[in-house]
Structures are given as structure tokens and as C-alpha cells.
Amino acid sequence: MKFINSESIKEKEKKFIGTINAALDWEAIGKMLMEKHKFTLQEKIECENGDLVVCNDTIAYKFDFEIKVPLSVMVNRQGECLEISTPGKEDEEHDEDELFQDADPDMNPAPPTNPEQEKKVSQMASNIADMISEINQGDA
């Protein structure tokens, strides 16, 4: 003998989970993601699934989200992975400075300040692009 329609229970559970989800503190979640995983959320995220679960002998609420995060992958010319990182907004400028701190100053010159320098830099960039294209065609 049923006392409550099962569809009604499911509907009320879904509404309850939605109410709990709406109360989540996204500022605290963002701070935890930065501290623990060193990345920031890139856009608003939606709950894909929520449920009542038992965790460590305690009733808990589980929320499943799919999030977009920045990801940097560095590979060498042999295709081997050198580094994978998820820079946070706070770390982006700092990471870029660290990346170039040991670089040869001639390899990282100041940006051009006059039209003639800009033309030379543009030509060099074009030459480099042509060389990369030739290398890629040789691999095919």
C-alpha cells in the first residue's frame, strides 16, 4: 500500500536539492578551489545533478558540476609533456614573470618603439611562421 505517489517524492526531493544548491557560498567554493587546486572558475556553473547520500555514516548532499578551468600544457619539440598547470587569476602575472626570469635578454627584447622596429619585428615573425610551416610540411 502506497502512502505517497513516488513521482511526488522525486519532485519534492529535486526541489529540496535545488534549494540547498541555491544556498551554496560560491565565494567560499572559489577560494577553496584556488587554495587547494590553484585554479579559478571561468564562468557561472550549473548543477548537473544533486542527491542525498550517506558519507562517513552521515547524511550529506552531493552536487555534481562540470566546470571550465584554464589549462596550460607545455610540450617540447619531441611532443613530450614538460608541464601541465592550471594558473589562477592571481598567479597569471606572477607565473609569466617566473617563466621569463632566466631568459636571455636578447631572446626577450623590449617591444619595438618606432615604426621601423615594428616592421623588422613583423618581418621576423613572418619568417619564423614560414620556417614553422616548412617544418610542419616536412613532418606530413
**Residue 34: which residues within 8 A CB-CB, separation 6 or more?**
40, 88, 90
C-alpha cell at 74: 607545455
**DSSP state, residue 71:** -
Helix, coil or strand: residue 9: helix
Return the residue matching grid coordinates 613532418: 139
Q: What is the mean pLDDT of residues 116-132?
A: 74
48-102 residue pLDDT tens: 888 888 989 988 889 888 877 777 888 888 888 888 877 655 444 444 445 444 4
Whole-prediction pTM: 0.47
